[in-house]
């Protein structure tokens, strides 16, 4: 699989992680990496020396007490090094590395929550985001594991230098053969690892599909469909087909690993055979004591381990660096909504939070990859305090118009003005604060009732919450909940949570909109799933409660928006009619025909087949 060259080098990413540690005052993580490396080297040296030293004492016919003391000293040293290593690793994991990963996780989460809205629909951005989220997901991912890798590099380099010095007394041929077989073995093993790394998108795809199927099989919203339509066997078949591909991947991987292991066994036999032969020859020639034989042979094995460790650690650091590069690329992705696209500087045009005039001048908009515009050369003025209804057939561009007004997209052509200033000159986050919106797919967080109204967990004005809930007609429900306003909504996170009905959720959204008290209210068909009477009641409540606020109502049921000051009828991305309900009926255009069909349906309870197709 071809991959683009990473934006940052390994050294740049190491510097980045060190800078993050320094910025967060996690100075210990660097010192503990060095200390852990030293302790592991000492532990390895102690383990290697214990047998040759004891054997040397035996060769010299040392007293029994000397042997006991030697064994005791080495045992204590091993216990101390091992205990300190474990302690340092635990301290570093909980107090250092994890803190840095959590900090980066918060940065990724913040980026995902605040990135320009079009990025959320860009497949390439979503791919990068998914990989960035993976890099901070767990202890084995790059943002935390990189410290273990750096510690491994220091340990292996230190061990390599010490063991190389020890082997200077051995024939250079043995050192060369040992190093050569270690490097060749690493290259073979690296090829297998590269294969797995190059196929990580494949395995990620299988994991995503299996996780999706498992999640859907447990989803309460899908539970009724699963039972009514007997979907369990279908889901099992889909899951089994994915698992078949999953097993095929693992079979290919393990077959490659088996071949790699076999080749490495051959190299090990060659390396150990040459080392054994040379050292045995030295012993037989009385040039080497048996204790020295054990020492040098252990050093040969250790030397191989250090070489392989260095190569493995740098290979792992390379892979982790790729993940860190992706994460940094995501975090540093330019945001044209928040800053000037040319200079990169933050927009500083002041924004008044009072109700103002919204205007579209010659606005056209085309979605990326689309063949034609969704909105065509549209002109529209929305005065402060005006109640505007946007109606039309499905696909007319109503929701796209609302997204443009809310600032989720920049127009392809033309400009959107607020108080006479192009909204691209405002900080978009400040511009969002002008709106209180309820969309077709509104969000209900698995948190308390009060926090869902206030949309925050800090500084909640409970008196204001209660007033908004009262106005929304939910006071009795809130008081009847097990823990009142502190009752959890939903049961995905909290088992003691409460599920609200569709109508109750709509009223909760009303309370939320009232609590924010933004100058502009937007309703983008949030009541589409409700019956006409319930929808009309909800819209009336919004109308009565919002007072002088500017309001934009979208509905496919025309009767629900009759109270608005002005109604615009959209068709194929254009405003074809504009006026009050009575004016549009008198005009006898598309609005009047659509209203007649809907009213006839509700009066008679049914229509003929041809008219039914046109009912929204």
Provide the pLDDT for residue 601.
Answer: 61
**pLDDT reading at 74 higher than 70:** yes
Smallest CA-to-CA distance from 382 within 210, 194, 566 is with: 566
Token output for 579: 């006026």
531 secondary structure, DSSP code = -
Kindly report the number of other CB atoms within 10 A of residue 61's CB atom.
Answer: 7
Domains located in the chain, CATH noted: 10-331 (1.20.1560.10), 358-443+518-589 (3.40.50.300), 445-499 (no CATH)
Higher pLDDT, 531 or 442: 442
608 secondary structure, DSSP code = -
- Is residue 494 within 8 A of residue 503, CB to CB? The reply is no
Provide the pLDDT for residue 528.
Answer: 62
pLDDT tens per residue across span 543-586? 777 777 888 988 777 777 788 889 999 998 999 999 998 999 99
Kindly report the number of other CB atoms within 10 A of residue 192's CB atom.
Answer: 17
- Is residue 447 within 8 A of residue 457, CB to CB? The reply is yes
Q: What is the mean pLDDT of the chain?
A: 82
Smallest CA-to-CA distance from 494 within 504, 482, 502 is with: 482
Higher pLDDT, 74 or 59: 74
- Is residue 440 within 8 A of residue 528, CB to CB? The reply is yes
CA angle 483, 488, 491 (to 5 degrees): 130
> Where does 332-427 have alpha helices with state H?
398-406
Distances in Å between the alpha carbon of 248 and those of 189, 196, 238?
21, 13, 16
Distances in Å between the alpha carbon of 403 and those of 31, 67, 416, 422, 443?
51, 83, 12, 16, 16
Residue 527: pLDDT band by 50, 70, 90 thresholds?
A: low
> Where does 481-589 have alpha helices with state H?
502-516, 532-546, 581-587
Provide the pLDDT for residue 338.
Answer: 61
**pLDDT reading at 607 higher than 70:** no
346 secondary structure, DSSP code = B
pLDDT tens per residue across span 141-159? 889 889 889 988 998 888 8
Token output for 475: 């006071």
What is the rounded average pLDDT of the residues 439-445? Answer: 81
> Where does 218-343 have alpha helices with state H?
220-228, 232-284, 290-331
Q: Which of 190-204, 339-353, 565-579 has the highest mean pLDDT?
A: 565-579
The lowest-confidence range among 91-95, 106-110, 183-187, 378-382 is 91-95
pLDDT tens per residue across span 224-282? 888 888 888 888 888 888 888 888 888 888 888 888 888 878 877 877 777 777 777 77
Single pTM value for the model: 0.73
pLDDT tens per residue across span 215-227? 888 877 788 888 8
Rounded CA separation 518/468 (Å): 14
What is the rounded average pLDDT of the residues 36-58? Answer: 83
Distances in Å between the alpha carbon of 391 and those of 278, 408, 577, 578, 582?
91, 20, 10, 10, 15
What is the separation of C-alpha 146 from the centre of its chain, rounded to a whole number of angstroms?
Answer: 19
**pLDDT reading at 14 higher than 70:** yes
CA angle 456, 461, 462 (to 5 degrees): 105
Provide the pLDDT for residue 376.
Answer: 93
pLDDT tens per residue across span 365-403? 998 888 899 999 999 999 998 999 998 888 888 889 999
Smallest CA-to-CA distance from 48 within 88, 78, 85, 79 is with: 78
């Amino acid at each position: 699989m071809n991959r683009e060259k990473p934006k940052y080098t390994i050294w740049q990413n190491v510097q980045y992680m060190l800078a993050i540690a320094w910025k967060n005052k996690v100075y210990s993580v660097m010192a503990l990496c060095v200390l852990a490396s030293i302790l592991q080297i000492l532990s390895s040296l102690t383990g290697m020396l214990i047998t040759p030293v004891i054997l040397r004492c035996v060769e010299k016919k040392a007293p029994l007490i000397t042997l006991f003391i030697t064994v005791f000293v080495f045992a204590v040293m091993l216990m101390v090094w091992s205990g300190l290593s474990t302690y340092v690793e635990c301290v570093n994991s909980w107090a250092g590395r994890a803190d840095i990963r959590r900090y980066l996780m918060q940065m990724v989460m913040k980026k995902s929550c605040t990135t320009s809205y079009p990025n959320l629909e860009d497949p390439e951005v979503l791919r990068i985001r998914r990989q960035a989220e993976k890099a901070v997901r767990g202890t084995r991912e790059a943002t935390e594991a990189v410290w273990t890798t750096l510690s491994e590099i220091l340990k292996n380099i230190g061990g390599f230098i010490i063991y190389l010095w020890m082997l200077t007394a051995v024939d250079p041929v043995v050192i060369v053969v040992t190093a050569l077989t270690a490097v060749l073995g690493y290259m073979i093993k690296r090829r297998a690892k590269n294969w797995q790394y190059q196929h990580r998108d494949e395995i990620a795809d299988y994991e995503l599909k299996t996780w999706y199927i498992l999640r859907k099989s447990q989803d309460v919203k899908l539970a009724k469909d699963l039972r009514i339509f007997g979907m369990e066997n279908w889901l099992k078949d889909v899951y089994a087909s994915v698992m078949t591909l999953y097993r095929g991947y693992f079979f290919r991987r393990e077959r490659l690993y088996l071949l790699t292991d076999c080749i490495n066994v051959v190299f090990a036999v060659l390396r150990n055979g040459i080392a054994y032969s040379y050292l045995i020859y030295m012993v037989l020639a009385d040039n080497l004591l048996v204790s020295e034989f054990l020492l040098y042979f252990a050093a040969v094995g250790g030397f191989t381990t250090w070489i392989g460790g260095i190569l493995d650690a740098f290979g792992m650091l390379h892979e982790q660096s790729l993940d860190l590069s992706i994460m940094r690329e995501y975090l540093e992705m330019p945001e044209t909504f928040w800053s000037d696209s040319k200079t990169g500087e933050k927009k500083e045009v002041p924004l008044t939070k009072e109700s103002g005039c919204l205007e579209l001048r010659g606005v056209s908009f085309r979605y990326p990859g689309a063949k034609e515009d969704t909105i065509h050369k549209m002109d529209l003025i929305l005065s402060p305090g005006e109640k505007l209804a946007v109606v039309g057939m499905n696909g007319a561009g109503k929701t796209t118009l609302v997204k443009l007004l809310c600032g989720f997209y920049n127009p392809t052509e033309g400009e959107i003005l607020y108080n006479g200033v192009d909204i691209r000159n405002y900080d978009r986050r400040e511009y969002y604060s002008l709106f209180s919106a309820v969309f077709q797919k509104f969000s209900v967080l698995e948190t308390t009732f009060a926090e869902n109204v206030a949309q925050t967990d800090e500084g909640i004005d409970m008196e204001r919450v209660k007033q908004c809930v009262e106005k929304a007609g939910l006071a009795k429900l809130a008081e009847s909940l097990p823990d009142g306003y502190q009752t959890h909504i939903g049961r995905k996170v909290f088992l003691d949570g409460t599920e609200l009905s569709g109508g109750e959720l709509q009223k909760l959204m009303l309370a939320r909109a009232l609590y924010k008290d933004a100058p502009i209210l937007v309703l983008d068909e949030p009541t589409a799933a409700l019956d006409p009477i319930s929808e009309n009641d909800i819209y009336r409540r919004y109308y009565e409660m919002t007072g002088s606020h500017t309001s934009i109502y979208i509905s496919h049921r025309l009767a629900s928006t009759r109270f608005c000051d002005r109604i615009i009828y959209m068709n194929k991305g254009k405003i074809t009619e504009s006026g009050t309900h009575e004016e549009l009926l008198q005009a006898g255009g598309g609005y009047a025909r659509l209203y007649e069909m809907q009213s006839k349906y509700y009066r008679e309870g049914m229509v003929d087949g041809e008219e039914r197709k046109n009912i929204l």
